[in-house]
Amino acid sequence: MIVRIEYKKTNSLIFISTLDIERLWERILRRADLNLKYTEGYNPKVVKDFSPAIPLGVFSESEIIDFIIIEDLEIDYVLSKIKKVSPFDLFIKRGKVINEKFASLSSLTTHIEVEIAGEKVKNLNFKELELEKNIDGKLKVIELNRFIFKESENENGKMLILDSKVSLKDIMNKLNKMGLDFIITKKNNLNLQNDKLISIFDLN
Amino acid sequence: MLKDEEFLFFQKPGRYIGKEWNSVYKNPEGKKRFLIVYPDIYEVGMSSLAIILLYHLINERDDSLCERLFSPGLDLEEYLLKNDIPLFSIETRTAVKNFDIIGFSLQSQLNFTNVLDILNLSQINIFSKERKGFPIIIAGGPVALNPAPFSPFIDGFVIGEGEEVVEEILDNFKLDRNEYLNKLNEIEGVYIPEFGKKIVNKRVIWDFENSFFPEKLLVPYIQTIHDRAVVEIFRGCDRGCRFCISGMEKRPRRERSVDKILEISEKVLKNTGYEEISLLSLSTSDYKRIDELLIKLKERLKDKKITISLPSLRIDNFSLKLLDLIDTGRKVTLTFAPEGGTEKIRNIMNKPIKDDEILNVIKEANFKGYKKIKLYFLIGVPYEDYDDIYGIAELINKIKDENKLIKLSLSINPFIPKPFTPFQWEKFISKDEFIKKIKIIKEGIKNVNLSYRGWEESFIEAIISRGDEQISELIYEAYLEGEKFSNWKENFHFETWEKILKEKKFKSVDKISNGFLTDEELPWDFINIGIDKKFLLEEREKSKNCEITKPCFMDFEKCSNCGVCFNLNDSKNRI
């Protein structure tokens, strides 16, 4: 059965890179002592898939992992086993069994929802921001507007729905350059279907 | 104290945030506070079994806590100095100076300047005699076996294995510095320089089978050098290679039983989730029941998809059989250390491997699909002549001729005479001789990837290894000149060390580079590692005649009388 779990990446884990998080999950799943499906080859790894990577320093309220257990188990039983062997800063929100896997979580994620919190951020018009990207030693200017699907305000700052192709790292660099204090939290991974955005967790 | 988010400004913040799986957080109230320190970056230090083992051992105690510290990266160091923030532990970010005991693990002579740097960043006086109150600075590990060059900076040295002595250090804790140092001075295996030299007996864990092994190993978040589970299958090595300090200092050889290793392995893997386990020792293929161990371990782990790795394999067909036995299918780079280019020089070193054995093993490895092979050699070994150097090139060429498709790497290290070995009196190779010999090898080989350690860093390591108290000034001056992480090639500045050597003209440097007389007192003579000096002298004589001494595990009836089983063991029984 294919298991999908949504978890939060908080506190100490925001300092851990995507590759290290993947290794962390390899070890969590092995510690959970489930009957897992492994890759073939010389160094078998748990078959697993992740939602798109986020840069160091970004909190996340919605990270997704899919993996395969080669027996049928109750999802609550699986979640309880995983929770027991997960570090405190990796908070398991929910899980479910999915019937079939059509595509990778990265390719399914067309958009991400992020909160950019900060007093001064509230007054910022993100549609006007120009990001700078160093491509082969040349500085290229990219208009953030191209990637913004929706911009709104909340009590902490801004909520943005962005095309998943955008680089959060570039946004962070820009805001740092502007001398702003901010905290970025990824709220959701989304898939655009018929003009409707659906959370990746809810697919299948 | 730095806040979490501030770590984002530094390279690899994961080095400093802690909270790894199986890390231990304790309320400090009423507890003896021990900080264990590895004077290199997190990724290196967290690969040291000694650090992890002592961390968990101390944290098992209800009356104590142990936190960790590694050398900060240069970016964090700069920030701390600029903002006058004292260095702090990983777990609770407590200032180093607020701990009761700081224990340094010394694994490399060249990074001792990092110890001084850590003391300075912690706002602790660098010189022991200038320190008042706490913390008490202690140091252990292989480099501490010759404490002389470090003695002005360290309050107490631990000689030998740490598991029991660290408990005694904590048991005897006193709130008054002088009273505590006096108490420490009474503990077997502890040397307090302030109280002068006395005979210090190395500590040995005689009941290795039942000795502490942490089943809940720390699992780092970020990738470390050895990012895998480990289980120590035996300690010590009695092969008796005459250049090898580990082979001498870690004697006697003590094995864990197969059942115990299986039990530990299963628990460690269950508690960590590691996908690989390494069977650790100085020479893994020498474990007496290695076949049985591997067959049983493989059987028990077969459903878990765990890779077993075998470090430190000897160059023989048996090692290849063992690789077959674990059958990962993975054709890793095979690393062997013949050390010498001819049978003669290998006999001198007491590593008697025949040329044919080397050639056969590599042919067999090639046949089995191992296409990348790395070979280690030493040059500048006592009684070496140019035939031995031409011998390296000839051996390499023969291997290439017989195995045209393998990718062969050759790594050359200058031989560094180390204390407590039969070669402890010998000279260190001169720069001219080293260059000449490297040139011969370079010109003599084709299509082989050759790398060699610089003569310069080896020379400084040689001086510190056999140094006396004077050498502490060399280390201190180098530290003042900014030498840090000097065991990393890119951070080693020979011109700095050379300038100090020229200015200070230390009397002992000539002796250290040219060798000691066998009847003169050596700076480490007051340390008793259990091996008789008579044995070392006999071994030295035997090496001149290319005579071999067999390991006692192969020929138990013919004890080589190194002395270790009798000199340190209360029961006076051979083990």
Query: pLDDT (tens digit, 9 = 90+) per residue, B3-56?
Result: 888 898 899 999 999 999 999 999 999 999 999 999 999 999 999 999 999 999
- In contact, A83 and A67? CB cutoff 8 Å: no
Cβ of B305 within 8 Å of Cβ of A33? The answer is no
Does pLDDT of B399 surpass 70?
A: yes
- In a structure prediction context, what are the per-residue pLDDT tens digits for chain A, which is 204 residues long? 999 999 999 988 999 999 999 999 999 999 999 999 999 887 899 999 999 999 999 999 999 999 999 999 999 999 999 999 999 999 999 999 998 877 899 999 999 999 999 998 988 999 999 998 888 888 889 999 999 999 999 999 999 999 999 999 999 999 999 999 999 999 999 999 888 999 999 987
Nearest residue to A117 via CA among A33, A189, A61 = A61
- Alpha carbons B425 and B542: distance in angstroms, whole number: 15
Cβ of B19 within 8 Å of Cβ of A85? The answer is no
pLDDT of residue B327: 67
- Point out the residue among B4, B221, B307 whose CB comes nearest to the CB of A11: B4
- Alpha carbons A61 and B367: distance in angstroms, whole number: 53
pLDDT of residue B555: 65
Q: Tokens 């967790």 label which residue?
A: A201
A85 contacts on B by Cβ (under 8 Å): 273
DSSP state of B302: G
- Alpha carbons B51 and B238: distance in angstroms, whole number: 25
- Point out the residue among B14, B21, B271 whose CB comes nearest to the CB of A15: B14
Does pLDDT of B553 surpass 80?
A: no
- Alpha carbons B338 and B376: distance in angstroms, whole number: 6
Q: Tokens 């951020």 label which residue?
A: A121
DSSP state of B468: -
- In contact, B56 and B83? CB cutoff 8 Å: no
Which tens digits make up the pLDDT trace of B233-263?
999 998 999 999 999 999 999 999 999 999 9
- Point out the residue among A30, A43, A57 whose CB comes nearest to the CB of B273: A30
pLDDT of residue A52: 95
B19 contacts on A by Cβ (under 8 Å): 11-12, 87-89
CB neighbour list of residue B117: distance below 8 Å, 6 or more residues apart: B39, B71, B77, B479, B484
pLDDT band at B369, cuts 50/70/90?
confident
Which tens digits make up the pLDDT trace of B296-344?
999 998 888 898 888 878 887 677 788 777 766 667 788 899 999 999 9
3-class DSSP assignment, residue B181? helix
Q: What is the 3-state secondary structure (H, E, C) of B493-518?
A: CHHHHHHHHHHHCCHHHHHHHHCCCC
Q: For chain B, what is the radius of gyration of the CA atoms?
A: 24
pLDDT of residue A93: 96
pLDDT of residue A80: 97
Q: Which two tokens stand for residue B223?
A: 């990738």
- Alpha carbons B348 and B243: distance in angstroms, whole number: 10
Does pLDDT of B285 surpass 90?
A: no
Nearest residue to A82 via CA among A74, A72, A92, A70 = A92
DSSP state of B90: S
Does pLDDT of B414 surpass 90?
A: yes
pLDDT of residue B461: 97
User: Which residue does chain B place closest to A82, by CA atoms?
Assistant: B273
Cβ of A88 within 8 Å of Cβ of B19? The answer is yes
Determine if residue B468 is left, alpha or beta; phi over 0 gives left, psi from -120 to 50 gives alpha, anything else beta: beta
A27 contacts on B by Cβ (under 8 Å): 21, 219, 272-275
3-class DSSP assignment, residue A152? strand
pLDDT band at B423, cuts 50/70/90?
very high
Cβ of B222 within 8 Å of Cβ of A20? The answer is yes
Specify the fold of A2-108. Answer: Alpha-Beta Plaits (3.30.70)
- Alpha carbons B7 and B16: distance in angstroms, whole number: 8
Question: How near does any CA of chain A get to the CA of B371, in Å?
Answer: 16
- Point out the residue among B223, B273, B330 whose CB comes nearest to the CB of A20: B223
CB neighbour list of residue B403: distance below 8 Å, 6 or more residues apart: B362, B363, B366
Nearest residue to A11 via CA among A61, A53, A59 = A59
Nearest residue to B52 via CA among B186, B169, B166, B213 = B213
Does pLDDT of B572 surpass 60?
A: no
B330 contacts on A by Cβ (under 8 Å): 42-43
3-class DSSP assignment, residue A133? strand
Mean pLDDT of chain B: 93
- Point out the residue among B21, B227, B328 whose CB comes nearest to the CB of A42: B328
Q: Which two tokens stand for residue B363?
A: 């042919």
Q: Tokens 């998080």 label which residue?
A: A21
- In the Cβ-directed half-sphere of B253, how many Cα atoms lie within 13 Å? 19
User: Which residue does chain A place closest to B223, by CA atoms?
Assistant: A20
Query: Which percentage of chain B shows pLDDT scores above 90?
Result: 82
Lowest mean pLDDT of A152-166, B93-107, B549-563, name the range: B549-563
Does pLDDT of B524 surpass 60?
A: yes
Question: How near does any CA of chain A get to the CA of B220, in Å?
Answer: 9
